[in-house]
Structure formats: C-alpha cells, structure tokens
Chains A and B, each alone.
Chain A
C-alpha cells in the first residue's frame, strides 16, 4: 500500500510548482490512467499521448481539481476518460464504432502482469465492478458501455440502437443510478473510487 502524502497534499504542492510532487502523482496514477486510455483508444501511442496531456493539464493548471467536488482519483480518471474520448473522436477510428457490450467471461478481467500481487487485487476489484454491471438490464448496460468505453454520444447511441434519444437518456441515467447503488453495496460505505483503489492495492 502506498504511504506518504495524500493526493490532495501533492496537488497542493503542484500548485506551488513542485515538480517532485507531480512526479509522485505520476507514479501513483499513471497505470490506471494509461489502462483506461488504452481501453478506450486501443492504440498504445494514442493512449500515451492522452496520458501525457492529462498530466500536462494537471501541471499547467492544478486548480482545475476542486476537492469540494470529489476525490483526486475521480477527477484525474474523469479527465483521462474525456481526453481519451476526444482523441478517439478526433481520430475517427473505425474500431470505436464496433464496441461490444462486455458479456460474462469476456475481456473485462485485467490482464495479469508479471510478478504483481497488484494484478490479483485488480482482478478482484474488476470482478466486483463486472458483477455489478451484469446485474443491470442489457439495454442499460449497453448504453453505458457504448458511452463510457465506446466514446459515443447519446445521439449516436440512439441511431445505433434504434431507440429514441429520450430513451437513451433515461436508460443512461437509470444505469448510473443502479450501478452506483450496486457498487456502494459491494464496495462498502466509503467512496467508490477509494474502495476500488484499495482493492487494486493502490492506496
């Protein structure tokens, strides 16, 4: 488990232009950020460009992180997600048009990395999230996967799935609502991201 200053303390030091603090945050978060960018972008080079831009954003304007709105990990992963989606849209990659809804036993289990107990913990955490996802109705899981991992807008999803835009919006809202409830029950009373990071051995 990681010791040392909290994420918030390191961000405060980045505001004072402390490069060592940025380096610590990089070491702490680069893998989850890269893993997410890689999942969305598929292309490794594009994913690394995204991660570079994310940390550059943090360095240039650390005040974008508002502790009052949530935890740093949530903010950084949200920035990573949005930048990765932007990159994919910009690239207009064909592969993002064929994102499949993960099914039971499919590739949502983390790939083992050599010699890492962390990988086992990550598999447990991912398994919890996957189990929660699979308790959602397929239609809700589909819109969530197409938006979050596929980078599609609600309008695009409506066209692809052949349902009205209003239905896509309500399905997405309900999917998030139910998933949050399921994850809170499974991961515990603390914030979801903090619990997930603990299970990955990152905190």
Chain B
C-alpha cells in the first residue's frame, strides 16, 4: 500500500502534496525542498502526487504545436555545443559533436559553418 493511502505519519505530508503540484508559496516550497531528502514518506508522497498530476496532464485536450517549434528546439540545443567547436577546435570533430551534426543534418535545416 502506498504512503498516501497508508496515511504514514509525517507532519509535512500535506505540504509534500502541495510541493509536488507546485502550489506552495516560496517559503513552504523551500521548507519542503530542504525536508525531502531526509524523509522517505514525503519523498514517496511527492512522487505519487506527481504521477497523479501527470495523469491529469494527459487528460487535457490534444493540441498540436507549430512545425517551427522543433526547429526552435534544434536551434537552441545546437547553439550550446557549437560554440566550443568554433573557439577550441574548428578543424576537428570530436565524437560528442558527430551525433549532433547527424541529427541536425537529418533535420535538413542546418548549414555548415564556415
């Protein structure tokens, strides 16, 4: 039986639910965040609450993002690793970069840098 059903004893259980739903004020949020590592009951309560929340999240009306969103994500993630290539190793291709070049090229929008 899970902690929520069992009603396990910890005075912060109710706060843990609010914390997992992102419904606490900053002070309460900090309190629970500091308490959580030392309390298996609240950790379990928060995890179970997050699962309930995610299930609620899956019940909402289906919506489709624009086609540009994927390109925006690709562009931003690409910027993170491209900078070191220019500054540190413009003539080499470390393995870390190869997979991303592959992905970006597969997306058909990236043009090679000079």
- Interface of A toward B, CB cutoff 8 Å: 17-20, 22-23, 26, 30-32, 34-36, 38-39, 44, 47-48, 51-52, 55-56, 59-60, 69-71, 73-75, 77-78, 80-82, 85-86, 107-111, 113, 118-119, 122, 125-126, 129-130, 133, 144, 147-149, 151-155, 157, 169-170, 172-173, 176-177, 179-181, 183, 187, 191-193, 196-197, 200
From A31, A78, A125, contact of B53 by CB (8 A): A78
Is the Cβ of B55 less than 8 Å from the Cβ of A183?
A: yes
The majority secondary structure among interface residues of chain B is: helix
Is the Cβ of B62 less than 8 Å from the Cβ of A119?
A: yes
22 A-B pairs, CB-CB below 8 angstroms? A17-B96, A23-B103, A31-B65, A36-B57, A48-B72, A69-B43, A69-B47, A70-B50, A74-B54, A80-B57, A107-B61, A151-B22, A169-B18, A180-B52, A183-B55, A191-B51, A192-B51, A192-B54, A193-B54, A193-B55, A196-B58, A197-B58
Q: A19-B100, A111-B63, A113-B62 are in contact. Are A34 and B69 (CB under 8 A)?
A: yes
Q: Mark B79-108, 1 if CB is under 8 A from A, else 0.
A: 011000000000000001001101110110
The majority secondary structure among interface residues of chain A is: helix
Using Cβ atoms and an 8 Å threshold, which residues of chain A touch B59? 108, 125-126, 129-130, 196
Q: Which of B47, B60, B72, B100 has the most CB of A within 10 A?
A: B60
Q: A36-B60, A177-B4, A192-B52 are in contact. Are A153 and B103 (CB under 8 A)?
A: no
User: Which single residue of chain B is at the shortest CB-CB distance from A22?
Assistant: B77
A30-B69, A147-B23, A172-B18 are known; give 18 further A-B pairs, CB within 8 A.
A48-B65, A48-B72, A56-B73, A70-B47, A74-B50, A77-B53, A78-B50, A81-B54, A108-B61, A126-B59, A147-B21, A148-B23, A151-B22, A154-B28, A169-B15, A173-B14, A176-B52, A179-B52
User: Which single residue of chain B is at the shortest CB-CB distance from A123?
Assistant: B62
Using Cβ atoms and an 8 Å threshold, which residues of chain A touch B70? 26, 30
- Separation of A172 and B96 alpha carbons in the complex (Å): 45
